[in-house]
Chains A and B, each alone.
Chain A
Amino acid sequence: MERSGPVFGQGLIGEHDNDLTVHHAGDPIGERILVHGRVLDEDGRPVRSALVEVWQANAAGRYRHKVDTHDAPLDPNFAGAGRTLTDESGYYWFKTIKPGPYPWGNHHNAWRPSHIHFSLFGSGILSRLVTQMYFPGDPLQPLDPIFNSIRDAAARARLVSNLDMDRSESNYLLAYKWDIVLRGRVDTPFEEGHR
Chain B
Amino acid sequence: MSDNSVRIPASSQTVGPYFRIGLEYLVNRNSVPSIVPAGMIELRGRVLDRDGVPVPDAMLEFSSGAGVGRLLDGNEAKSGIPEGFRRVATDDKGEFALAIARPVAETSSDAHFLVLVFARGLLRHLITRVYLGDEVRNDKDAVLLRVPPDRRATLIARADEIQAGLYWWDVVLQGTNETIFFAW
Pick from A11, A81, A83, A195: contact of B182, CB below 8 A. A195
With the chains together, A56 CA to B21 CA distance in Å?
A: 8
Given A5-B68, A81-B21, A130–B6 Cβ distance below 8 Å? no
Indicate whether B150 reaches chain A with its CB closer than 8 angstroms.
Answer: no
With the chains together, A159 CA to B11 CA distance in Å?
A: 8
Chain B interface extent, by class: 35 or more
Q: Is the CB of A3 within 8 A of B65?
A: yes
**Chain B positions within 8 Å of A80 at CB level:** 21-22
**Chain B positions within 8 Å of A191 at CB level:** 182-184
Q: Is the CB of B12 within 8 A of A129?
A: yes
**Chain A positions within 8 Å of B17 at CB level:** 65, 67-68
Q: Is the CB of B5 within 8 A of A44?
A: yes
Indicate whether B108 reaches chain A with its CB closer than 8 angstroms.
Answer: no
CB distance from A143 to the nearest CB of B (A): 16
Residue among A6, A191, A194 with the highest chain B CB neighbour number at 10 A: A6
**Chain A positions within 8 Å of B70 at CB level:** 7
Residue among B5, B9, B63, B79 with the highest chain A CB neighbour number at 10 A: B9
CB-nearest residue of chain A to B126: A195
Given A4-B69, A125-B63, A131–B180 Cβ distance below 8 Å? no
CB-contacts of B76-91 with A (<8 A): 76-82, 84-85
CB-contacts of A111-167 with B (<8 A): 117, 119, 125-126, 128-132, 146, 149-150, 154-156, 158-159
Indicate whether B168 reaches chain A with its CB closer than 8 angstroms.
Answer: no
**Chain A positions within 8 Å of B136 at CB level:** none
Indicate whether A28 reaches chain B with its CB closer than 8 angstroms.
Answer: no
Chain A interface extent, by class: 35 or more
Given A7-B82, A194-B180, A130–B68 Cβ distance below 8 Å? no
Pick from A8, A43, A117: contact of B22, CB below 8 A. A117
CB distance from B172 to the nearest CB of A (A): 13
With the chains together, A150 CA to B8 CA distance in Å?
A: 14
**Chain A positions within 8 Å of B71 at CB level:** 7-9
Given A5-B68, A8-B80, A182–B3 Cβ distance below 8 Å? no
Pick from A6, A83, A156, A193: contact of B183, CB below 8 A. A193
Given A13-B80, A195-B182, A181–B22 Cβ distance below 8 Å? no
**Chain B positions within 8 Å of A194 at CB level:** 147, 180-183
CB distance from B62 to the nearest CB of A (A): 10
8 inter-chain pairs at a CB distance below 8 angstroms, sorted by A residue, are A3-B68, A6-B85, A11-B77, A42-B6, A55-B19, A159-B13, A181-B9, A193-B183
Question: Which are the 7 A-B pairs with shortest beta-carbon distances?
Answer: A55-B22, A12-B80, A11-B80, A9-B80, A6-B85, A4-B69, A183-B9
B interface residues (Cβ-Cβ under 8 A, vs A)? 3-23, 25-26, 61, 63, 65-66, 68-71, 76-82, 84-85, 106, 114, 116, 118, 123, 125-127, 143, 146-147, 180-184
12 new A-B pairs (CB below 8 Å) besides A42-B6, A192-B143, A192-B182? A6-B69, A6-B81, A9-B81, A55-B19, A56-B21, A63-B18, A68-B17, A83-B25, A119-B23, A129-B9, A130-B12, A192-B146
